[in-house]
Structure 1
Amino acid sequence: MLDHLWHLIVGSPLPTQSLSRERLNKIRALAAFSPDALSSIAYANQEIYLGLALAGSAGLAFLWPIGLAITGLLLIVALSYFQTIHGYPSGGGSYVVARENLGTIPGLIAAAALIVDYILTAAVSLTAGVAALASAFPVLWAYKVELAIVLLIVITVVNLRGLQESGTVMAIPVYLFLGVFLSMLGVGVIHLMVGGVRYVPQATLPVLQPITPFLVLHTFATGCTALTGIEAISNGVPAFRPPEARNAGKTLIIMAGLMGTLFLGSIGLTQFLAVIPRADETILSALAHWIFGNTPLYFLVQISTLLILAVAANTSFAGFPRLAAILAKDGFLPHQLAGLGDRLVYSNGILTLAAITGLLIILFNGNTHALIPLFAVGAFLAFTLSQIGMVNHWQRTRGRHWKIKAFLNGLGGLTTGITMVIVGVSKFVEGAWIVPIAIALMTLGFLRIRDHYQDVAQELSLSELLELPALTPPHPRIVIPISGIHKGIVNAITFARAISTEITAVYVELEPGSGEQIQQKWTTLWPNVPLVVLPSPYRSLVGPLLDFLDQTDREHNDGQLAVVMLPEFVPARWWHFFLHNQSAWLIKTALLYRRRRMGFQRVIIDVPYHLRR
């Protein structure tokens, strides 16, 4: 039933041969990898406005200069990642570049930073999307957490259905957003040309802080969240149709151009039209109100903003599972994250990201402004390590125009490194200190996971095994725990007699006197198989059984451990499991994780009996 329900939600399984057909063309790839980058104007513009508004109306005069600086940084980072795509067409982005050129530890730090960035991108995008909708319909503010969780579930299901379907579904909101916002910017420019520039807003803002270099740098750092998501294409190059690197590079240039146009255009119009939002709306909502008034076009802007922010989380759902799969293949994350699911996507990675994102939304009460301080530090740390690694890559491989390529990546590393320091220092007291700690703990976790896999491989290796065990081992001593006398025991007794003559049944007496009736009935049915009744004064099922097993091993002292054969009935419906005490499962768990002396482990044989009704 669970399989049928799963396939109803995500679709029928796809054969591995269909993997090549699941690749994305440039139109679908732009929709799959760019929503985060394109939609970042929604929260980046808001944070820039909130930062400068502390200095009153005079502070808003810095909107345009800060917008220009962030756009210039965007172009540098885009050119740097264009080099990364062609230098590493197999994907992996910052992690692969840093690990191969700077070493394992820098590579893992870059991976941890990217993972933090992906998780926060999903949480911020969904909460900002709900904020855009609530700006148009204020009654929805009370349900912001619930709405964000619903959007998260929808995005998760769409991604579980596969690349082609997610690319197709995401294309609608992405291209709707582009059409609506580019049209709005065009109408705004016409208003500007007709009405002229008005730097001073009609509404006067109170001065809460003086204009200082720190205020400007802090606002710049907050606005740098507009650059998040630009690395997603370099991480997902294998998802493109051949030639992968060429198509990915073109898509990156198109995305960067659209990002710059939307960001600079909206920032410029906000300042030159002197737009001031109400207390219960975002700055983009106020800009749309100024240009379109309270018309259906305004509501279309807000709805398209909600949709693009909702699917902006898709950038994380496209990038996080691929990065997790690469780390898992390298032995730094659980191997389950490396396996393709039924729909040829990394289902375990998608579900993991969804669970962590949902937890963040609930913990931060759906508050975008509270999540923003944690946002950009991880992204710019990954940017910086990647670009420094690319400089080493070009110096090592050389090739045509390698000096120009190294210069571009070096310039990218320098600018993103300086920006990372500004972001970290200016946002430290607002919660950015959490991010370095999280990255350090994740890096240590990666190394511990790798050590575990290496230890397991060494222990399982046959190289230290001098000779194989004998092919004819002695007959095992079999112990059969029973909870009563029923049909489920018959198969276990029959199978035990087929492999051994030393068989003992054990009944743990949880209620005093109950063993006597069991003993009489047992003697009638299987007189040649001894039954031992174990009293349990503290009503423990597992403890007396384990003590009995240890005692019989000591008494026999024959170099082997008794084999435990568990009769277990299997209900016909999944929900029937909750109606039974699962004593067989408890015994199996206790035996499975109980360490034995001299490395021996007790053998457990499960004999199921399937119920029909």
Structure 2
Amino acid sequence: MRKIVALPVLSADALSSVAYGPEALLAVLVLGGTAGLGYSVPVSLAIVFLMLAVGLSYRQTIRAYPHGGGSYIVATDNLGRVPGLMAAAGLMTDYILTVAVSVSSGMAAVTSALPQLADDVVLIGVLVIAVLLAGNLRGVRQAGALFAAPTYAFIIAIFALVATGVYEAAGRGFEPLPTPPLHATEGVGLLLVMRAFASGSTAMTGIEAISNAVPAFRPVAWRNARTTLSWMIGLLITLFAGTVAMVYLEGVVPRSQETVLSQLAHHSFGSGGMYVFTQAATALVLLLAANTAYNDFPRVLFLLARDSQAPRIFLRLGDRLAFSNGIIVLSVAAAVVYVAFDGKTATLIPLYAVGVFLAFTLSQSGMVVHWWRRRDRHWRKSLCFNATGALLSAVVFITAGITKFTEGAWLAILAVAGFLLVTTRIRRHYDMVRRALRLHPQTIEIPSRTISPLPDAHAPAEPAPRARPAQPSDRPAPSVPPAPPAPSAPSAPSAPSGGDQDAESEDTPEEIRHLSLVPIDALHQASMRALAYAASLQQPVLVLHVSPSDEDAECFRESWHLWGDRLPLRIVISPYRAVVAPLISYIESLHRQRPDLTITVILPEIVVRHRWHRVLHSHLAGRLRRALRPLPKIVVTTVPFHVHDGGP
């Protein structure tokens, strides 16, 4: 992306937080009455300093990780697996709440202009999440002027609001207007101020989006990403400080029926077209911010699944090249949170700060370790920036955890702990399965396409014959088509031709000509058992491997040669990590070329003891059966490999 497009697309989450961050700060200070509101300016200045420090810290992250460095990657690389999982937990909590908070704040902007919709905010919000789900499952992407327009419209609206307010305030000598009469419900003390600071700091959400998306920029990507990040921080500070200044000068206080931004827009523009434009731009940019989470949440799940810390179904791309399973999980979780908290932004904010600043703290702490280890050019300056960001983020995280514990922060902390427990157990299970499947040198060979018959039970005992290479006298394997090119996107199988029904005319065993097709993902004991079973049928065997890249394909080919290379092998490259669609495409191609063959697809299947472990393993056989059912003369069978806690 060009910087002019990347800025609004990747900054929507951060900039839209101006719609609720200042209001969250004021909602706490107003509990202290007029004296409490007097702290709004110094607390806002502290938040501005925090924005600047964290922004400078992420500039160092972009330089160190030019291919993208989110909190999970940085924390895992430099602090270890458990801190990386904690960062991932914070990020995923953040993304779920980004959807819930953005939708609730967007609904507040709408109901401020249209109060008659106030009773239906929960229903409308759930429908909005459903629309986001449907759009992202269909592959909608944040790119181009369509997605950039709401952010630029919001920036223009806030700048116009602030400029108009400053002009009017200048006419009265910048004398603040009096606030409505306030009744203090709490004493003004350190605890109240710290709670306000933690709530207002939610205006920083989304700052790390640019560091995650460095490869999306035009070359030189990391330099353009740093420039865009600097622009974003400058705009965020300006919009946040301008909004707080207008609140102070106009004497605005939070109200349950109308947002602070709506009140400021009424003060500056009245109820005319500019007011409607401001509210519409606010609602749209918040919707775009919610959609940002749909790009990042599934990718974090993908990284966790790649590292065997989440179910492998999250590695899979859908038909529209979207991580469909992650998108569904995000939508369901966000909808549950939104409904549970009645779509009220104020009640969601305490949960928000904990996840955001946990991820910030671990990411910046990881960068401190990174610079200490590398000690390359300017490492001391970079370490200082990241250490400052880590310290300030830790202060906010601890403050939010303590001061807002009873208001809902306990739920976010509990979610992080539960996430750690689940992902650790998933990793333990995958490690156990990996040990059970591990090949042992000189004990297993790739079998030949045929095997010698077993000796007669009454004959003298002889040593068991070794699997031998195919001899010229063996039954020749049928010709097979070359691997078809990987499709531009995974596609559904085409309908079979009507003439295929005539091919199902074999009524005796002698008329059936076989080909055993064995798809395997890797060389392990389960795949070897499937290959041995296929060879035991004494029919021609073809092995098929689907690989996500040429490098992975070459790695598999080397392993194949190392372990015997006794069967014909075909490799299909599937750059979108889809497995089922390329398999179906290849089988269809094979069937069209050799309709006289009965093709038996033999799949290795991992069988686990506990029911909940089943979701951690592929159910490829069932999906293939459903997809291949329209084709005649296709048999799908599985060879089970049982794995228990103590091994196979």
Q: Same fold (TM over 0.5)?
A: yes
Letter aligned with residue 180 of structure 2: A
What secondary structure sits across from 2:128 in the alignment?
Answer: helix
Give 1:482's aligned residue: none
Q: CA deviation at 1:162?
A: 4.6
Give 2:58's aligned residue: 81
Q: CA deviation at 1:287?
A: 1.1
Give 1:181's aligned residue: 158
Determine if the alignment matches structure 1 residue 106 to structure 2 residue 83.
yes
Give per-residue Cα distances to partners, 1:450-477, cap 9 Å, x unaligned. Answer: 2222333333333278356783678xxx
Give per-residue Cα distances to partners, 1:138-184, cap 9 Å, x unaligned. Answer: 11111112221232233334444557554543212111111111111
Aligned equivalent of 1:91, options 68, 74, 84: 68
Give 2:250's aligned residue: 273
Letter aligned with residue 292 of structure 1: F
Q: CA deviation at 1:261?
A: 0.6
Give per-residue Cα distances to partners, 1:573-600, cap 9 Å, x unaligned. Answer: xxxxxxxxxxxxxxxxxx98899xxxxx
Give 1:37's aligned residue: 14
Matches within 5 A, 1:567-606: none
Give 2:97's aligned residue: 120
Matches within 5 A, 1:383-462: 383-462=360-439
CA contact (8 A) 1:39 1:305 kept: yes
Determine if the alignment matches structure 1 residue 247 to structure 2 residue 227.
no
d(CA) in 1 for partners of 2:100, 2:416: 18
CA contact (8 A) 1:34 1:315 kept: no
Give per-residue Cα distances to partners, 1:87-145, cap 9 Å, x unaligned. Answer: 01222411111111111111111111111111111111111101110011111111112
d(CA) in 2 for partners of 1:472, 1:492: 31
Q: TM-score of the superposition, structure 2-length normalised?
A: 0.68
Letter aligned with residue 124 of structure 2: L
- Shift in alpha-carbon separation, 1:382–1:492, aligned structure 2, 3 A: farther
Q: State which drifts further: 75-84 or 434-443.
A: 434-443
Matches within 5 A, 1:3-402: 24-162=1-139, 166-199=143-176, 201-276=178-253, 278-402=255-379
Q: CA deviation at 1:305?
A: 0.9
Give 1:571's aligned residue: none
d(CA) in 2 for partners of 1:89, 1:384: 20
d(CA) in 2 for partners of 1:209, 1:75: 31
Determine if the alignment matches structure 1 residue 471 to structure 2 residue 448.
no
- Shift in alpha-carbon separation, 1:42–1:473, aligned structure 2, 3 A: farther
What secondary structure sits across from 1:332 in the alignment?
Answer: coil
Give per-residue Cα distances to partners, 1:472-517, cap 9 Å, x unaligned. Answer: 678xxxxxxxxxxxxx9xx899588989xxxxxxxxxxxxxxxxxx
* Superposition RMSD in Å: 3.2
CA contact (8 A) 2:161 2:264 kept: no
d(CA) in 1 for partners of 2:103, 2:507: 59
- Shift in alpha-carbon separation, 1:606–1:379, aligned structure 2, 3 A: closer
What secondary structure sits across from 1:366 in the alignment?
Answer: coil
d(CA) in 2 for partners of 1:161, 1:171: 20
Q: CA deviation at 1:200?
A: 5.4
Letter aligned with residue 399 of structure 2: I
Q: CA deviation at 1:239?
A: 2.5
CA contact (8 A) 1:32 1:170 kept: yes
d(CA) in 1 for partners of 2:264, 2:231: 25
CA contact (8 A) 1:158 1:165 kept: no
Q: State which drifts further: 36-45 or 451-460.
A: 451-460
d(CA) in 2 for partners of 1:443, 1:265: 40
Q: TM-score of the superposition, structure 1-length normalised?
A: 0.72
CA contact (8 A) 1:235 1:323 kept: no
- Shift in alpha-carbon separation, 1:278–1:422, aligned structure 2, 3 A: closer
Letter aligned with residue 249 of structure 1: R
d(CA) in 1 for partners of 2:288, 2:333: 17
d(CA) in 1 for partners of 2:188, 2:62: 41
Q: CA deviation at 1:47?
A: 1.3
CA contact (8 A) 1:48 1:63 kept: yes
Q: CA deviation at 1:401?
A: 1.0
d(CA) in 1 for partners of 2:26, 2:206: 21
In the alignment, structure 1 segments of 5+ residues that lack a partner are: 1-23, 475-487, 500-590, 596-602
- Shift in alpha-carbon separation, 1:191–1:128, aligned structure 2, 3 A: same
Letter aligned with residue 119 of structure 1: I
Q: State which drifts further: 56-65 or 171-180.
A: 56-65
CA contact (8 A) 1:32 1:318 kept: no
d(CA) in 1 for partners of 2:345, 2:296: 21
What secondary structure sits across from 1:56 in the alignment?
Answer: helix
CA contact (8 A) 1:235 1:322 kept: no
In the alignment, structure 2 segments of 5+ residues that lack a partner are: 455-500, 513-605, 611-620, 633-648
- Count of matched residue pairs: 480
- Shift in alpha-carbon separation, 1:136–1:402, aligned structure 2, 3 A: same
Letter aligned with residue 228 of structure 1: T
d(CA) in 1 for partners of 2:350, 2:505: 61
Relative to its length, the structure with more helix (as a share) is: 1
